[in-house]
Chains A and B, each alone.
Chain A
Protein backbone atom coordinates (compact mmCIF):
# COMPACT_ATOMS: atom_id res chain seq x y z
CA UNK A 1 0.00 0.00 0.00
CA UNK A 2 1.24 3.46 -0.81
CA UNK A 3 2.30 5.49 2.21
CA UNK A 4 3.39 8.68 0.52
CA UNK A 5 2.45 9.92 -2.89
CA UNK A 6 3.61 13.08 -4.61
CA UNK A 7 1.70 14.07 -7.73
CA UNK A 8 3.16 16.80 -9.96
CA UNK A 9 4.45 18.74 -6.98
CA UNK A 10 5.83 22.21 -7.62
CA UNK A 11 7.69 24.41 -5.19
CA UNK A 12 9.32 27.79 -5.23
CA UNK A 13 11.41 30.03 -3.04
CA UNK A 14 9.91 33.42 -3.79
CA UNK A 15 10.05 33.89 -7.54
CA UNK A 16 12.48 31.02 -7.99
CA UNK A 17 10.69 27.86 -9.12
CA UNK A 18 12.69 24.89 -7.85
CA UNK A 19 10.31 21.98 -8.33
CA UNK A 20 8.56 21.79 -11.63
CA UNK A 21 6.35 18.74 -11.25
CA UNK A 22 7.87 15.97 -9.16
CA UNK A 23 5.94 12.76 -8.76
CA UNK A 24 6.96 9.81 -6.68
CA UNK A 25 5.55 7.34 -4.25
CA UNK A 26 6.86 5.46 -1.25
CA UNK A 27 5.14 2.23 -0.24
CA UNK A 28 4.66 1.32 3.39
CA UNK A 29 7.92 0.02 4.74
CA UNK A 30 9.61 0.80 1.44
CA UNK A 31 12.75 2.77 0.82
CA UNK A 32 13.03 5.17 -2.08
CA UNK A 33 16.03 7.19 -3.21
CA UNK A 34 16.15 10.58 -4.88
CA UNK A 35 19.19 11.07 -7.09
CA UNK A 36 20.26 14.09 -9.02
CA UNK A 37 22.87 16.78 -9.48
CA UNK A 38 23.27 19.77 -7.22
CA UNK A 39 20.29 22.07 -7.60
CA UNK A 40 18.08 19.44 -9.16
CA UNK A 41 15.55 19.84 -6.35
CA UNK A 42 16.28 16.82 -4.14
CA UNK A 43 16.37 18.67 -0.83
CA UNK A 44 13.42 20.82 -1.86
CA UNK A 45 11.37 17.70 -2.49
CA UNK A 46 11.92 16.65 1.11
CA UNK A 47 11.09 20.15 2.29
CA UNK A 48 7.93 20.15 0.26
CA UNK A 49 6.85 17.02 2.09
CA UNK A 50 7.74 18.33 5.55
CA UNK A 51 5.98 21.63 4.89
CA UNK A 52 8.84 24.08 5.02
CA UNK A 53 8.44 25.39 1.49
CA UNK A 54 5.43 26.69 -0.41
CA UNK A 55 4.16 24.00 -2.76
CA UNK A 56 1.63 23.19 -5.43
CA UNK A 57 0.36 19.85 -6.68
CA UNK A 58 -0.76 17.03 -4.44
CA UNK A 59 0.98 15.39 -1.51
CA UNK A 60 -0.83 12.51 0.15
CA UNK A 61 0.45 10.75 3.21
CA UNK A 62 -1.18 7.83 4.93
CA UNK A 63 -4.50 8.48 3.26
CA UNK A 64 -4.75 12.23 3.73
CA UNK A 65 -3.71 15.37 1.95
CA UNK A 66 -0.84 17.02 3.76
CA UNK A 67 0.09 19.80 1.39
CA UNK A 68 -0.12 23.15 3.19
CA UNK A 69 0.18 21.73 6.69
CA UNK A 70 2.67 23.30 9.07
CA UNK A 71 5.90 21.39 9.66
CA UNK A 72 4.93 20.45 13.18
CA UNK A 73 1.59 19.10 11.94
CA UNK A 74 3.35 17.04 9.30
CA UNK A 75 5.68 15.69 11.97
CA UNK A 76 2.74 14.83 14.17
CA UNK A 77 1.34 12.65 11.38
CA UNK A 78 4.46 10.50 11.47
CA UNK A 79 7.04 12.00 9.16
CA UNK A 80 10.48 12.61 10.65
CA UNK A 81 12.97 14.71 8.76
CA UNK A 82 16.72 14.35 9.17
CA UNK A 83 17.67 17.63 7.55
CA UNK A 84 20.70 18.48 5.53
CA UNK A 85 23.34 19.71 7.97
CA UNK A 86 21.86 17.40 10.63
CA UNK A 87 20.22 20.10 12.76
CA UNK A 88 21.36 18.69 16.06
CA UNK A 89 20.64 21.01 18.96
CA UNK A 90 24.16 21.87 20.01
CA UNK A 91 23.45 23.20 23.48
CA UNK A 92 21.46 20.13 24.43
CA UNK A 93 23.03 16.88 25.50
CA UNK A 94 22.84 13.79 23.36
CA UNK A 95 20.18 12.33 25.62
CA UNK A 96 18.15 15.53 25.48
CA UNK A 97 18.36 15.59 21.71
CA UNK A 98 16.95 12.10 21.65
CA UNK A 99 14.20 13.10 24.06
CA UNK A 100 13.30 16.07 21.88
CA UNK A 101 12.73 13.55 19.11
CA UNK A 102 10.22 11.80 21.34
CA UNK A 103 8.41 15.07 22.09
CA UNK A 104 5.03 13.94 20.79
CA UNK A 105 5.10 10.50 22.35
CA UNK A 106 3.12 9.64 25.42
CA UNK A 107 4.56 6.18 26.10
CA UNK A 108 7.32 7.20 28.47
CA UNK A 109 8.46 3.70 29.27
CA UNK A 110 8.92 2.75 25.65
CA UNK A 111 10.87 5.98 25.10
CA UNK A 112 13.50 4.84 27.57
CA UNK A 113 13.79 1.56 25.72
CA UNK A 114 14.12 3.33 22.40
CA UNK A 115 16.95 5.46 23.73
CA UNK A 116 18.76 2.28 24.64
CA UNK A 117 18.06 1.00 21.14
CA UNK A 118 19.55 4.15 19.61
CA UNK A 119 22.65 3.78 21.71
CA UNK A 120 22.92 0.20 20.67
CA UNK A 121 22.51 1.22 17.05
CA UNK A 122 25.18 3.92 17.37
CA UNK A 123 27.61 2.66 20.03
CA UNK A 124 29.81 5.74 19.58
CA UNK A 125 27.09 7.77 21.27
CA UNK A 126 27.09 5.60 24.36
CA UNK A 127 29.96 7.42 26.04
CA UNK A 128 28.62 10.78 25.01
CA UNK A 129 25.02 10.70 26.25
CA UNK A 130 25.77 13.47 28.71
CA UNK A 131 27.83 15.58 26.35
CA UNK A 132 26.55 18.57 24.53
CA UNK A 133 25.72 17.76 20.95
CA UNK A 134 27.94 20.62 19.84
CA UNK A 135 30.91 18.75 21.26
CA UNK A 136 30.32 15.71 19.03
CA UNK A 137 32.20 14.95 15.86
CA UNK A 138 30.42 15.35 12.55
CA UNK A 139 29.79 11.64 12.26
CA UNK A 140 28.43 11.42 15.78
CA UNK A 141 26.14 14.35 15.11
CA UNK A 142 24.79 12.62 12.02
CA UNK A 143 24.13 9.50 14.04
CA UNK A 144 22.40 11.60 16.66
CA UNK A 145 20.22 13.24 14.03
CA UNK A 146 19.12 9.86 12.71
CA UNK A 147 18.58 8.57 16.21
CA UNK A 148 16.50 11.58 17.12
CA UNK A 149 14.31 11.11 14.08
CA UNK A 150 13.85 7.46 15.02
CA UNK A 151 12.80 8.50 18.52
CA UNK A 152 9.65 10.03 17.05
CA UNK A 153 8.61 6.52 15.95
CA UNK A 154 7.68 7.83 12.53
CA UNK A 155 6.03 5.97 9.71
CA UNK A 156 8.33 7.70 7.25
CA UNK A 157 11.87 8.98 7.60
CA UNK A 158 13.14 11.70 5.28
CA UNK A 159 16.91 11.43 5.11
CA UNK A 160 18.86 14.27 3.52
CA UNK A 161 22.52 13.79 2.55
CA UNK A 162 23.48 11.78 5.58
CA UNK A 163 27.01 11.28 4.24
CA UNK A 164 27.78 14.94 3.68
CA UNK A 165 31.11 16.04 5.10
CA UNK A 166 31.89 12.65 6.60
CA UNK A 167 34.96 10.53 6.07
CA UNK A 168 34.09 7.58 3.76
CA UNK A 169 34.44 5.03 6.52
CA UNK A 170 32.21 7.04 8.83
CA UNK A 171 29.62 7.54 6.11
CA UNK A 172 29.61 3.83 5.50
CA UNK A 173 29.09 3.09 9.17
CA UNK A 174 26.20 5.55 9.32
CA UNK A 175 24.49 3.94 6.37
CA UNK A 176 25.03 0.47 7.77
CA UNK A 177 23.31 1.53 10.95
CA UNK A 178 20.45 3.08 9.01
CA UNK A 179 20.02 -0.11 7.02
CA UNK A 180 19.86 -2.07 10.24
CA UNK A 181 17.32 0.41 11.57
CA UNK A 182 15.21 -0.07 8.48
CA UNK A 183 15.30 -3.82 8.73
CA UNK A 184 14.50 -3.89 12.42
CA UNK A 185 11.89 -1.14 12.55
CA UNK A 186 10.23 -1.32 9.16
CA UNK A 187 10.14 2.47 8.88
CA UNK A 188 9.67 3.64 5.32
CA UNK A 189 12.40 5.93 4.01
CA UNK A 190 12.86 8.58 1.40
CA UNK A 191 16.55 9.10 0.91
CA UNK A 192 18.42 11.96 -0.76
CA UNK A 193 22.02 11.10 -1.33
CA UNK A 194 24.79 12.42 -3.56
CA UNK A 195 26.77 9.27 -3.16
CA UNK A 196 24.75 6.83 -5.25
CA UNK A 197 26.69 3.81 -4.02
CA UNK A 198 25.59 4.57 -0.49
CA UNK A 199 22.07 5.31 -1.69
CA UNK A 200 21.73 2.03 -3.51
CA UNK A 201 22.84 0.22 -0.38
CA UNK A 202 19.70 1.44 1.30
CA UNK A 203 16.91 1.94 -1.26
CA UNK A 204 14.73 -0.44 -3.25
CA UNK A 205 13.79 2.03 -5.95
CA UNK A 206 14.98 5.48 -6.89
CA UNK A 207 14.00 8.44 -9.00
CA UNK A 208 16.34 10.79 -10.77
CA UNK A 209 15.62 14.54 -10.72
CA UNK A 210 16.82 17.06 -13.24
CA UNK A 211 15.98 20.75 -12.91
CA UNK A 212 13.00 20.10 -10.74
CA UNK A 213 11.31 17.17 -12.43
CA UNK A 214 11.66 13.40 -12.59
CA UNK A 215 13.47 12.12 -15.59
CA UNK A 216 13.85 8.51 -14.63
CA UNK A 217 12.44 6.09 -12.09
CA UNK A 218 13.31 2.49 -11.50
CA UNK A 219 14.48 -0.19 -9.14
CA UNK A 220 17.97 0.00 -7.72
CA UNK A 221 19.08 -2.89 -9.81
CA UNK A 222 17.76 -1.35 -13.05
CA UNK A 223 19.25 2.02 -12.37
CA UNK A 224 22.60 0.66 -11.33
CA UNK A 225 22.79 -1.03 -14.70
CA UNK A 226 22.21 2.10 -16.75
CA UNK A 227 25.18 3.75 -18.38
CA UNK A 228 24.13 7.32 -17.79
CA UNK A 229 23.55 6.66 -14.11
CA UNK A 230 26.91 4.99 -13.80
CA UNK A 231 28.59 7.93 -15.47
CA UNK A 232 26.76 10.63 -13.56
CA UNK A 233 26.55 9.16 -10.08
CA UNK A 234 28.65 6.07 -9.69
CA UNK A 235 31.95 7.43 -10.87
CA UNK A 236 32.34 5.22 -13.88
Chain B
Protein backbone atom coordinates (compact mmCIF):
# COMPACT_ATOMS: atom_id res chain seq x y z
CA UNK B 1 0.00 0.00 0.00
CA UNK B 2 1.60 3.28 -1.03
CA UNK B 3 1.77 5.92 1.64
CA UNK B 4 0.05 8.47 -0.52
CA UNK B 5 -2.94 6.18 -0.83
CA UNK B 6 -3.16 5.55 2.90
CA UNK B 7 -3.08 9.24 3.64
CA UNK B 8 -5.62 10.06 1.03
CA UNK B 9 -8.09 7.29 1.62
CA UNK B 10 -9.58 8.32 4.96
CA UNK B 11 -9.97 11.80 3.57
CA UNK B 12 -11.71 10.52 0.46
CA UNK B 13 -13.97 8.47 2.63
CA UNK B 14 -14.75 11.38 4.85
CA UNK B 15 -15.63 13.57 1.91
CA UNK B 16 -17.79 10.89 0.34
CA UNK B 17 -19.55 10.24 3.62
CA UNK B 18 -20.18 13.95 4.04
CA UNK B 19 -21.55 14.19 0.51
CA UNK B 20 -23.80 11.23 1.19
CA UNK B 21 -25.04 12.72 4.45
CA UNK B 22 -25.80 16.05 2.82
CA UNK B 23 -27.53 14.29 -0.06
CA UNK B 24 -29.69 12.28 2.31
CA UNK B 25 -30.62 15.34 4.31
CA UNK B 26 -31.38 17.41 1.25
CA UNK B 27 -33.09 14.69 -0.73
CA UNK B 28 -36.60 14.85 0.76
CA UNK B 29 -36.77 18.58 0.15
CA UNK B 30 -36.14 18.14 -3.55
CA UNK B 31 -37.80 14.83 -4.32
CA UNK B 32 -41.46 14.37 -5.14
CA UNK B 33 -43.62 12.85 -2.42
CA UNK B 34 -43.80 9.42 -3.96
CA UNK B 35 -40.02 9.14 -4.16
CA UNK B 36 -39.79 10.07 -0.49
CA UNK B 37 -42.46 7.56 0.44
CA UNK B 38 -40.57 4.89 -1.46
CA UNK B 39 -37.30 5.77 0.26
CA UNK B 40 -39.11 5.70 3.61
CA UNK B 41 -40.31 2.17 3.01
CA UNK B 42 -36.83 1.14 1.92
CA UNK B 43 -35.55 2.40 5.26
CA UNK B 44 -38.20 0.42 7.12
CA UNK B 45 -37.32 -2.85 5.46
CA UNK B 46 -33.59 -2.23 5.30
CA UNK B 47 -33.55 -2.22 9.10
CA UNK B 48 -35.50 -5.48 9.22
CA UNK B 49 -33.17 -7.07 6.66
CA UNK B 50 -30.19 -5.75 8.59
CA UNK B 51 -31.38 -7.58 11.68
CA UNK B 52 -31.94 -10.72 9.68
CA UNK B 53 -28.47 -10.38 8.24
CA UNK B 54 -26.91 -10.27 11.69
CA UNK B 55 -28.44 -13.56 12.72
CA UNK B 56 -28.40 -15.30 9.33
CA UNK B 57 -25.81 -13.66 7.13
CA UNK B 58 -23.23 -13.13 9.83
CA UNK B 59 -23.99 -15.85 12.36
CA UNK B 60 -25.38 -18.46 10.00
CA UNK B 61 -28.51 -19.25 12.00
CA UNK B 62 -31.61 -19.75 9.88
CA UNK B 63 -34.32 -17.35 10.99
CA UNK B 64 -37.64 -17.54 9.19
CA UNK B 65 -39.52 -15.47 11.73
CA UNK B 66 -38.03 -12.00 11.43
CA UNK B 67 -41.34 -10.53 10.29
CA UNK B 68 -42.84 -11.55 13.62
CA UNK B 69 -40.57 -9.10 15.40
CA UNK B 70 -41.36 -6.40 12.89
CA UNK B 71 -45.05 -6.94 13.57
CA UNK B 72 -44.46 -7.03 17.31
CA UNK B 73 -42.60 -3.73 17.16
CA UNK B 74 -45.39 -2.25 15.07
CA UNK B 75 -48.05 -3.37 17.53
CA UNK B 76 -46.14 -2.09 20.54
CA UNK B 77 -45.69 1.22 18.75
CA UNK B 78 -49.39 1.45 17.93
CA UNK B 79 -50.29 0.60 21.51
CA UNK B 80 -47.89 3.14 22.97
CA UNK B 81 -48.95 5.91 20.60
CA UNK B 82 -52.61 5.29 21.22
CA UNK B 83 -52.00 5.40 24.96
CA UNK B 84 -50.21 8.69 24.72
CA UNK B 85 -46.71 7.53 25.63
CA UNK B 86 -43.74 9.72 24.91
CA UNK B 87 -42.46 8.88 21.45
CA UNK B 88 -38.95 8.02 22.62
CA UNK B 89 -40.45 5.68 25.18
CA UNK B 90 -42.53 4.12 22.42
CA UNK B 91 -39.43 3.55 20.35
CA UNK B 92 -37.51 1.94 23.18
CA UNK B 93 -40.50 -0.16 24.13
CA UNK B 94 -40.84 -1.41 20.55
CA UNK B 95 -37.19 -2.44 20.53
CA UNK B 96 -37.20 -3.81 24.06
CA UNK B 97 -40.34 -5.91 23.79
CA UNK B 98 -39.19 -7.41 20.50
CA UNK B 99 -35.73 -7.96 21.94
CA UNK B 100 -37.08 -9.60 25.07
CA UNK B 101 -39.32 -11.97 23.15
CA UNK B 102 -36.43 -12.68 20.81
CA UNK B 103 -34.20 -13.41 23.77
CA UNK B 104 -36.69 -15.85 25.29
CA UNK B 105 -37.22 -17.62 22.00
CA UNK B 106 -33.50 -17.79 21.37
CA UNK B 107 -32.72 -19.15 24.84
CA UNK B 108 -34.95 -22.09 24.06
CA UNK B 109 -34.24 -22.47 20.35
CA UNK B 110 -30.47 -22.04 20.29
CA UNK B 111 -30.14 -25.06 22.59
CA UNK B 112 -31.77 -27.16 19.91
CA UNK B 113 -29.38 -26.01 17.23
CA UNK B 114 -29.40 -26.56 13.50
CA UNK B 115 -32.73 -26.94 11.80
CA UNK B 116 -34.63 -26.82 15.07
CA UNK B 117 -33.99 -23.08 15.24
CA UNK B 118 -35.46 -22.74 11.77
CA UNK B 119 -38.53 -24.69 12.84
CA UNK B 120 -39.08 -22.58 15.94
CA UNK B 121 -38.74 -19.41 13.92
CA UNK B 122 -41.24 -20.68 11.35
CA UNK B 123 -43.68 -21.11 14.19
CA UNK B 124 -43.43 -17.47 15.24
CA UNK B 125 -45.38 -15.82 12.43
CA UNK B 126 -47.66 -18.83 12.16
CA UNK B 127 -48.62 -18.44 15.80
CA UNK B 128 -48.37 -14.68 15.64
CA UNK B 129 -51.13 -14.07 13.12
CA UNK B 130 -53.96 -15.80 15.03
CA UNK B 131 -52.56 -14.43 18.27
CA UNK B 132 -52.77 -10.92 16.90
CA UNK B 133 -56.34 -11.58 15.83
CA UNK B 134 -57.26 -12.89 19.21
CA UNK B 135 -55.64 -10.31 21.47
CA UNK B 136 -57.94 -7.67 20.08
CA UNK B 137 -57.74 -5.42 23.16
CA UNK B 138 -54.09 -4.95 22.42
CA UNK B 139 -53.99 -5.35 18.65
CA UNK B 140 -57.36 -4.26 17.35
CA UNK B 141 -58.09 -7.79 16.17
CA UNK B 142 -58.28 -8.65 12.52
CA UNK B 143 -59.30 -5.11 11.62
CA UNK B 144 -55.93 -3.90 12.77
CA UNK B 145 -55.03 -0.71 14.51
CA UNK B 146 -54.08 2.76 13.33
CA UNK B 147 -51.73 5.15 15.01
CA UNK B 148 -50.83 8.53 13.63
CA UNK B 149 -47.81 10.09 15.18
CA UNK B 150 -45.69 11.06 12.23
CA UNK B 151 -47.62 13.94 10.76
CA UNK B 152 -45.26 16.85 10.35
CA UNK B 153 -45.61 19.40 13.15
CA UNK B 154 -46.54 22.90 12.04
CA UNK B 155 -43.34 24.52 13.23
CA UNK B 156 -41.31 22.35 10.88
CA UNK B 157 -42.91 23.66 7.75
CA UNK B 158 -42.45 20.20 6.22
CA UNK B 159 -44.85 17.89 4.46
CA UNK B 160 -45.70 14.61 6.14
CA UNK B 161 -43.57 12.56 3.78
CA UNK B 162 -40.55 14.79 4.45
CA UNK B 163 -41.02 14.59 8.19
CA UNK B 164 -41.39 10.81 8.05
CA UNK B 165 -38.31 10.60 5.89
CA UNK B 166 -36.25 12.29 8.59
CA UNK B 167 -37.63 10.02 11.30
CA UNK B 168 -36.79 6.96 9.28
CA UNK B 169 -33.43 8.40 8.29
CA UNK B 170 -32.39 9.03 11.89
CA UNK B 171 -33.44 5.60 13.14
CA UNK B 172 -32.11 3.60 10.22
CA UNK B 173 -28.83 5.54 10.06
CA UNK B 174 -28.34 4.81 13.74
CA UNK B 175 -29.21 1.16 13.16
CA UNK B 176 -26.75 0.85 10.31
CA UNK B 177 -23.92 2.54 12.17
CA UNK B 178 -24.57 0.35 15.19
CA UNK B 179 -24.65 -2.79 13.10
CA UNK B 180 -21.52 -1.77 11.30
CA UNK B 181 -19.50 -1.31 14.43
CA UNK B 182 -20.99 -4.46 15.88
CA UNK B 183 -20.02 -6.75 13.02
CA UNK B 184 -16.59 -5.20 12.66
CA UNK B 185 -15.77 -5.70 16.28
CA UNK B 186 -15.23 -8.56 18.64
CA UNK B 187 -18.81 -9.78 18.50
CA UNK B 188 -18.87 -9.66 14.74
CA UNK B 189 -15.83 -11.92 14.66
CA UNK B 190 -17.51 -14.22 17.16
CA UNK B 191 -20.60 -14.35 14.90
CA UNK B 192 -18.46 -15.23 11.91
CA UNK B 193 -16.51 -17.84 13.86
CA UNK B 194 -19.73 -19.52 15.00
CA UNK B 195 -21.09 -19.44 11.48
CA UNK B 196 -18.00 -21.04 10.02
CA UNK B 197 -17.10 -23.58 12.63
CA UNK B 198 -18.74 -23.87 16.03
CA UNK B 199 -16.11 -26.26 17.35
CA UNK B 200 -13.29 -23.90 16.47
CA UNK B 201 -15.22 -20.97 17.91
CA UNK B 202 -15.67 -22.87 21.16
CA UNK B 203 -12.00 -23.75 21.27
CA UNK B 204 -11.28 -20.02 21.24
CA UNK B 205 -13.55 -19.50 24.22
CA UNK B 206 -16.53 -18.30 22.19
CA UNK B 207 -19.69 -19.95 23.46
CA UNK B 208 -21.68 -20.86 20.34
CA UNK B 209 -24.87 -20.93 22.37
CA UNK B 210 -24.46 -17.48 23.86
CA UNK B 211 -23.31 -16.07 20.57
CA UNK B 212 -26.38 -17.39 18.79
CA UNK B 213 -28.65 -16.06 21.49
CA UNK B 214 -26.94 -12.70 21.26
CA UNK B 215 -27.26 -12.55 17.48
CA UNK B 216 -30.87 -13.63 17.56
CA UNK B 217 -31.73 -11.08 20.22
CA UNK B 218 -30.02 -8.28 18.34
CA UNK B 219 -31.88 -9.33 15.20
CA UNK B 220 -35.13 -9.14 17.14
CA UNK B 221 -34.31 -5.69 18.44
CA UNK B 222 -33.66 -4.53 14.89
CA UNK B 223 -36.95 -6.16 13.93
CA UNK B 224 -38.69 -4.17 16.65
CA UNK B 225 -37.06 -0.97 15.45
CA UNK B 226 -38.18 -1.80 11.93
CA UNK B 227 -41.70 -2.29 13.29
CA UNK B 228 -41.56 1.16 14.84
CA UNK B 229 -40.54 2.57 11.48
CA UNK B 230 -43.24 0.53 9.77
CA UNK B 231 -45.82 2.27 11.87
CA UNK B 232 -44.16 5.63 11.30
CA UNK B 233 -44.50 5.04 7.57
CA UNK B 234 -47.74 3.09 7.25
CA UNK B 235 -49.52 4.36 10.39
CA UNK B 236 -51.50 1.14 10.51
CA UNK B 237 -50.85 -2.47 11.29
CA UNK B 238 -52.89 -5.64 11.20
CA UNK B 239 -52.27 -9.38 11.53
CA UNK B 240 -51.39 -9.48 7.82
CA UNK B 241 -48.27 -7.46 8.60
CA UNK B 242 -46.65 -10.46 10.24
CA UNK B 243 -47.78 -13.16 7.85
CA UNK B 244 -45.27 -15.88 7.12
CA UNK B 245 -44.95 -15.06 3.44
CA UNK B 246 -43.44 -11.68 4.24
CA UNK B 247 -40.81 -13.40 6.33
CA UNK B 248 -39.77 -15.37 3.28
CA UNK B 249 -39.73 -12.18 1.23
CA UNK B 250 -37.43 -10.62 3.83
CA UNK B 251 -35.19 -13.63 3.55
CA UNK B 252 -35.13 -13.33 -0.23
CA UNK B 253 -34.36 -9.63 0.11
CA UNK B 254 -31.44 -10.42 2.37
CA UNK B 255 -29.97 -12.95 -0.03
CA UNK B 256 -30.56 -10.69 -3.01
CA UNK B 257 -29.00 -7.72 -1.27
CA UNK B 258 -26.05 -9.73 -0.05
CA UNK B 259 -25.88 -12.07 2.92
CA UNK B 260 -23.36 -10.99 5.50
CA UNK B 261 -23.10 -7.45 4.22
CA UNK B 262 -24.20 -4.19 5.77
CA UNK B 263 -24.56 -2.38 2.46
CA UNK B 264 -26.33 -5.48 1.15
CA UNK B 265 -29.01 -5.00 3.78
CA UNK B 266 -29.78 -1.59 2.38
CA UNK B 267 -29.94 -3.03 -1.11
CA UNK B 268 -32.16 -5.81 0.22
CA UNK B 269 -34.55 -3.23 1.63
CA UNK B 270 -34.56 -1.49 -1.71
CA UNK B 271 -35.27 -4.77 -3.45
CA UNK B 272 -38.14 -5.52 -1.07
CA UNK B 273 -39.77 -2.21 -1.92
CA UNK B 274 -38.84 -1.63 -5.55
CA UNK B 275 -39.60 -5.01 -7.00
CA UNK B 276 -43.34 -5.02 -6.22
CA UNK B 277 -43.52 -1.51 -7.64
CA UNK B 278 -41.65 -2.57 -10.72
CA UNK B 279 -43.68 -5.71 -11.27
CA UNK B 280 -46.86 -3.73 -10.78
CA UNK B 281 -45.72 -1.49 -13.57
CA UNK B 282 -44.94 -4.45 -15.84
CA UNK B 283 -48.27 -6.18 -15.33
CA UNK B 284 -50.16 -6.26 -12.05
CA UNK B 285 -51.56 -9.65 -12.92
CA UNK B 286 -48.17 -11.27 -13.23
CA UNK B 287 -46.40 -9.96 -10.14
CA UNK B 288 -45.60 -13.39 -8.75
CA UNK B 289 -44.11 -14.60 -11.98
CA UNK B 290 -42.05 -11.51 -12.64
CA UNK B 291 -40.84 -11.34 -9.04
CA UNK B 292 -39.71 -14.94 -9.29
CA UNK B 293 -37.94 -14.21 -12.56
CA UNK B 294 -36.10 -11.23 -11.08
CA UNK B 295 -35.11 -13.27 -8.04
CA UNK B 296 -33.69 -16.05 -10.17
CA UNK B 297 -31.94 -13.67 -12.52
CA UNK B 298 -30.14 -11.90 -9.70
CA UNK B 299 -29.19 -15.15 -8.02
CA UNK B 300 -27.74 -16.57 -11.22
CA UNK B 301 -25.90 -13.46 -12.29
CA UNK B 302 -24.81 -12.34 -8.84
CA UNK B 303 -24.79 -15.25 -6.42
CA UNK B 304 -23.24 -12.94 -3.83
CA UNK B 305 -26.17 -10.59 -4.08
CA UNK B 306 -26.45 -7.11 -5.48
CA UNK B 307 -23.69 -5.94 -3.20
CA UNK B 308 -21.21 -8.03 -5.16
CA UNK B 309 -21.99 -6.19 -8.38
CA UNK B 310 -19.13 -3.67 -8.07
CA UNK B 311 -16.74 -6.49 -7.25
CA UNK B 312 -17.85 -8.56 -10.21
CA UNK B 313 -17.56 -5.56 -12.49
CA UNK B 314 -14.15 -4.80 -11.08
CA UNK B 315 -13.02 -8.35 -11.61
CA UNK B 316 -14.16 -8.24 -15.20
CA UNK B 317 -12.44 -4.93 -15.85
CA UNK B 318 -9.34 -6.06 -14.01
CA UNK B 319 -9.21 -9.14 -16.14
CA UNK B 320 -9.32 -7.11 -19.30
CA UNK B 321 -6.84 -4.64 -17.84
CA UNK B 322 -4.31 -7.35 -17.04
CA UNK B 323 -4.80 -8.69 -20.50
CA UNK B 324 -3.86 -5.33 -21.87
CA UNK B 325 -0.76 -4.79 -19.75
CA UNK B 326 0.78 -7.78 -18.08
CA UNK B 327 3.58 -5.56 -16.91
CA UNK B 328 1.76 -4.56 -13.76
CA UNK B 329 3.75 -5.47 -10.68
CA UNK B 330 2.47 -8.54 -8.92
CA UNK B 331 2.53 -6.84 -5.55
CA UNK B 332 -0.11 -4.41 -6.61
CA UNK B 333 -2.42 -7.12 -7.82
CA UNK B 334 -2.10 -8.95 -4.56
CA UNK B 335 -3.28 -5.84 -2.77
CA UNK B 336 -6.51 -6.15 -4.58
CA UNK B 337 -7.51 -9.19 -2.64
CA UNK B 338 -10.48 -8.61 -0.37
CA UNK B 339 -9.92 -6.16 2.42
CA UNK B 340 -8.72 -6.92 5.88
CA UNK B 341 -11.02 -4.84 7.97
CA UNK B 342 -14.19 -6.18 6.55
CA UNK B 343 -15.40 -8.79 9.00
CA UNK B 344 -17.04 -11.17 6.63
CA UNK B 345 -15.91 -10.26 3.20
CA UNK B 346 -19.23 -10.77 1.55
CA UNK B 347 -20.89 -13.95 0.71
CA UNK B 348 -19.56 -14.90 -2.69
CA UNK B 349 -16.35 -16.82 -2.27
CA UNK B 350 -13.98 -16.05 -5.04
CA UNK B 351 -13.20 -19.51 -6.19
CA UNK B 352 -9.97 -18.90 -8.08
CA UNK B 353 -8.39 -17.39 -5.01
CA UNK B 354 -8.57 -20.59 -3.06
CA UNK B 355 -5.15 -21.75 -4.04
CA UNK B 356 -4.16 -24.86 -2.18
CA UNK B 357 -6.59 -24.99 0.63
CA UNK B 358 -6.52 -28.42 2.14
CA UNK B 359 -9.38 -29.57 4.23
CA UNK B 360 -8.27 -31.65 7.15
CA UNK B 361 -8.73 -35.39 6.85
Interface of A with B (CB < 8 Å)?
50-52, 70-72, 75-76, 80-81, 83-87, 89-96, 99-101, 103-104, 127, 129-132, 134-138, 141, 148, 152, 164-165
Contact = CB atoms under 8 A, between A and B. Distances in A.
The 10 closest A-B pairs by CB, nearest first: A85-B360, A130-B340, A71-B202, A75-B205, A87-B200, A104-B205, A72-B207, A81-B203, A138-B358, A135-B353
Contacts of B339: 93, 130
A148 B203 CA distance: 11
B257 interface: no
B226 to A, nearest CB: 27
B320 interface: no
B186 interface: yes
B199 A83 contact: yes
B197 A87 contact: yes
Contacts of A86: 360
Given A84-B360, A85-B359, A89-B200, A134 B349 contact: yes
Contacts of A91: 192, 196, 344-345, 349
B203 A87 contact: yes
Contacts of A89: 192-193, 196-197, 200
Contact of B334 (A71, A94, A127): A127
Interface residues of B, number: 36
Contacts of B359: 85
Given A91-B349, A92-B192, A130 B338 contact: yes
A72 B340 contact: no
Contacts of B361: 84-85, 164-165
A51 B342 CA distance: 32
A129 B208 contact: no
Contacts of B334: 127
A152 B204 CA distance: 7
Nearest to A52: B199
B200 A83 contact: yes
Given A132-B345, A138-B356, A92 B337 contact: no
